[in-house]
Amino acid sequence: MSRPSKAIIDLAALRHNYATARRIHGGRVLATLKANAYGHGSVACAKALEPMADGLAVAFLEEALALRRADVSSPILILEGCFSAAELKEAHAQGCWVVVHHEAQLRALEEAAQPVRDMNVWLKLDSGMGRAGFPVEHAQAAYARLHACPQVGAVTLMSHLASADEPDKDQTARQLAAFDAATAGLPGPQSLANSAGLLAWPAARRDWARPGILLFGADPMPGGQHGLKPVMTLQSEVFAVRELRAGQSLGYGGRFVADAPCRVGLVAVGYADGYPRSVADGTPVAIDGLRSRIIGRVSMDMLTVDLTALPHAGIGSVVELWGASVSVHEVAMAAGTIAYELLCHVQRVPREHVGLDADRPATARGIRQTREDCL
Ligand SMILES: *Cc1c(COP(=O)(O)O)cnc(C)c1O
């Protein structure tokens, strides 16, 4: 028997969220599956989305190659582009689309002798984020150079939004204006929107959107009500129970001190599994579907939860660290970070993919159980 900790990945919810994104967007939508699909397992997610998605996006070539090795044949856009001529050649051989966002990448492309005019290139402009992308003043020249390359078949104009999740800021409107001015008269499809851009900025939707986080059910908009479903349930069980006397302390540094007699559940998940060490006492968890709290510091392989108000909870009680009852966003807030970071860090626990395979009623029941627990 291995420890009962796992990340349950609901692929039906993933497909629901993709369909929601496409309905809101109305055009074509790349499913962004970088960083092992934000910790959800990129091969399983790609296979679940492939029949419905217009294409996929990853950050790096090696992420695209892992999908190709698993027989994923959709178009895959490489968001950070290639790091060498050899990578560019491999990307092309694997039918990947490449972003070109700085001079060395453009030169490598100009020097890549390809016999046919079939490279699909996304020219990335810096419309105000100040990070990757050609300065907008160079947009027309970079576009002309790409078009002059005999191996380039299609050019998509793209940029990335720095503050799309903050609708009260005017940075997004300024980025859109800068992008439109820089690309005036240039033909070809356009792509500006990440998840927040897609949800909150109709003017940013353009031809192709590139959502990531919303696919996993974490709405990037404060208080967002878009009907997204959480995809990951990070779950374990209570494996031991301790009683603390009033005045007794718990865990590293003795941070938590019981002010009254207290029942503590031990759970085999720690910061090495991606649960953040930085959370304070009181951070929510759900135990057999009822909300309780973390007490004591999170250690590498274990954390401790308060069972005092849950007399029926004990060894074997299901502990949801995040999922349908406790949103990953709540835990991220408690940790002073964002849902993206927590999800990406889920790598050590086994992933159990459910929701699509009708041949596995037991696991399908497992996830329904999780949902009912929180009603
Ligand atoms: C990661 C990434 C996205 C997806 O962003 P979300 O906020 O997760 O939707 C889109 N475009 C680029 C260039 C990215 O790097």
To which H or E segment does residue 308 belong? none
Q: What is the pLDDT of residue 370?
A: 35
Pocket of ligand 1 (CB under 6 A): 32, 34, 79, 160, 194-195, 210-213, 220
Exposure letters 339-356 (e unless 16+ CB within 10 A, then b): bbebbbbbeebebbbbbb
Among the listed residues 6, 18, 34, 38, the single catalytic one is 34
Distance between Cα 59 and ligand 1 center (Å): 9
Distance between Cα 74 and ligand 1 center (Å): 18
pLDDT tens profile 360-369: 444 443 443 3
pLDDT tens profile 197-230: 999 999 999 999 999 999 999 999 878 789 999 9
- Beta-carbon contacts of 260 under 8 Å, excluding residues fewer than 6 positions away, are 246, 308
Q: DSSP letters along 88-114, please?
A: HHHHHHTTEEEEE-SHHHHHHHHH---
Report whether 213 contacts 340 (CB < 8 A). yes
pLDDT tens profile 321-354: 999 999 999 999 999 999 999 999 999 999 999 9
More confident site: 365 or 83: 83
Q: 340, 368, 363: which is closest to 352 by C-alpha?
A: 363
The mean per-residue pLDDT over the stretch 239-267 comes to 97
CB-CB neighbours of 32 under 10 Å: 24
Does 252 participate in catalysis according to the annotation? yes
The mean per-residue pLDDT over the stretch 20-41 comes to 98
Residue 246 clears pLDDT 90, i.e. is over it: yes
Q: What is the pLDDT of residue 362?
A: 42
- Average pLDDT of the chain to the nearest whole number: 93
Confidence label for 306 from pLDDT (cuts 50, 70 and 90): very high
Atom nearest to 194 CA in ligand 1 = 9
The mean per-residue pLDDT over the stretch 138-156 comes to 95
pTM of the model: 0.93
State how far the alpha carbon of 296 is from the alpha carbons of 111, 258, 303, in Å.
58, 10, 8
Ordered domains of the chain (ranges, CATH):
11-213 (3.20.20.10), 232-354 (2.40.37.10)
Q: What is the pLDDT of residue 19?
A: 98
Does 6 participate in catalysis according to the annotation? no
Q: Which residue CA neighbors atom 3 of ligand 1 most closely?
A: 194
pLDDT tens profile 150-199: 999 999 999 999 999 999 999 999 999 999 999 999 999 999 999 999 99
Residue type for 53, please? Answer: A
